[in-house]
Amino acid sequence: MGRSTYLAVEVSGAGRHPAAWLRPDAQPDALLTAPYHVGLARLAARAGADFLAVPDSLAPPSADPRLVPLRLDAVAIAARVAPVVPGVGLVPTVTVTHTEPFHVSKAIATLDLVSSGRAGWEPVVSRTAAEAELFGRKPAAPPAELWREAVEVVDVVVALWDSWEDDAVIRDVATGRYVDRDKLHYIDFSGEFFSVKGPSITPRSPQAHPLVVVRGDEPEALAVAAARADVVRVAAADLATAHTARERVRAAVAAAGRDPDAVAVLLDVEVLLGADAGSARRELDALDAHRELAPSSLRVVDTAATLVDVITDAVAGGAADGVTAVPLALPSGVRAIAADVAPRLADRGLRTPVAPGATLRDRFGLARPANRFEGARA
């Protein structure tokens, strides 16, 4: 059997479509409750998804009364579902432009701890003046600067994950020492944007390095993805464009001195599934009648079988290593993926079964990394 086709599911609010909350099967009153998010995560786990992507942003909510202006902290959602939903990776989006790398590092390490090694994160930048205004510390910056800073954040976050060696806690009664401080390390990072001393206050986590997921669409972001990401997400209108995008990512990864086969490229696919193409189409038309949503990537408004064909073609044709399914409406969208898409993918032998207790790194064939500081003495 060849490598598994990766499947991620992105869930946010009532779904990506701004009118999705109006559907009869939506749960607009439950969007801030834990059971709603646990339910979505359970469905993603039932679908055998490699991870659940939980978007986040500092972009201020719309004042339009017809839109859902709610946004919970994505790490909070991931941590809330982690202990009660086994068997799926958890990848919250984390904004890095106005936040503290030290806090981010221990938050994701802790998500890894409470999920027994299923954590990842997707760093994103905050580009607008409106986001900068929420902090009032610095003005909005151009993409090149934002992503240069984002690289520093990723580097600090990961270095802090290594600032504790795995066996730093020794509990040596004879010498009275709880830790071997030679196995705790200052990272002494000093960059263009900030400096961080370390070590982390949080020990090394089960995976050591939770997965780094980066969008590779923007040229400035692509460089970061190529140099730092374990998984790269791309958006593309069709499979031909996706193919080009994946080649671009692979070339950039190779240029960064890394093995392109070790970095999975996942194509975003917006989905609205129905019993037949016509009914799926009518459901989308009903949503678009309230407010139209232009596709942000390949969109499949059709049957589960068609979606499976598209995924099969995408992988066979080298357009992607897998997909991030983005339901336009929830919870119906993720329910359909669990009930109708996942079994068909399995039937085609596209999904390799995962050992119980597998970490998110295991799912992507990534070994637990060695510690850069091992052997170094403070």
> Least Å distance between CB 299 and another protein?
23
Q: Which is nearer to another protein, 134 or 240 (CB)?
A: 134
Helix (H) or strand (E) run with residue 108 in it = helix 101-114
Q: Which is nearer to another protein, 153 or 345 (CB)?
A: 153
Q: List helix spans (H) across 49-97.
A: 74-81
Q: Which two tokens stand for residue 178?
A: 């709880």
Q: Which is nearer to another protein, 98 or 243 (CB)?
A: 98
Strands 51-54 and 6-10 turn out to be parallel
> Least Å distance between CB 106 and another protein?
4
Cα–Cα distance, 95 to 58 (Å, whole number): 7
Q: Which is nearer to another protein, 98 or 258 (CB)?
A: 98
What are the DSSP E strand ranges found in the chain?
6-10, 51-54, 89-95, 120-124, 169-172, 177-179, 189-190, 195-196, 211-215, 231-234, 264-273, 298-302, 322-327
Q: Which is nearer to another protein, 238 or 285 (CB)?
A: 285
Q: Which is nearer to another protein, 33 or 244 (CB)?
A: 33
Q: Which is nearer to another protein, 81 or 325 (CB)?
A: 81
The residues with which 327 forms a beta bridge, in sequence order, are 271
Cα–Cα distance, 87 to 89 (Å, whole number): 7
> Least Å distance between CB 29 and another protein?
6
Q: Which is nearer to another protein, 20 or 272 (CB)?
A: 20
> Least Å distance between CB 19 and another protein?
8
> Least Å distance between CB 131 and another protein?
8
What is the C-alpha R_g of the chain?
21
Q: Which two tokens stand for residue 17?
A: 């479509």
> Least Å distance between CB 107 and another protein?
5
> Least Å distance between CB 309 and another protein?
34
CA distances to 120, 181, 226, 248, 265 from 242, in Å: 24, 49, 16, 10, 10
Nearest to 321 by CA among 207, 210, 213, 206: 213
> Least Å distance between CB 217 and another protein?
24
Where does residue 240 rank: exposed (0-12), middle (13-18), buried (19+ CB within 10 A)? exposed
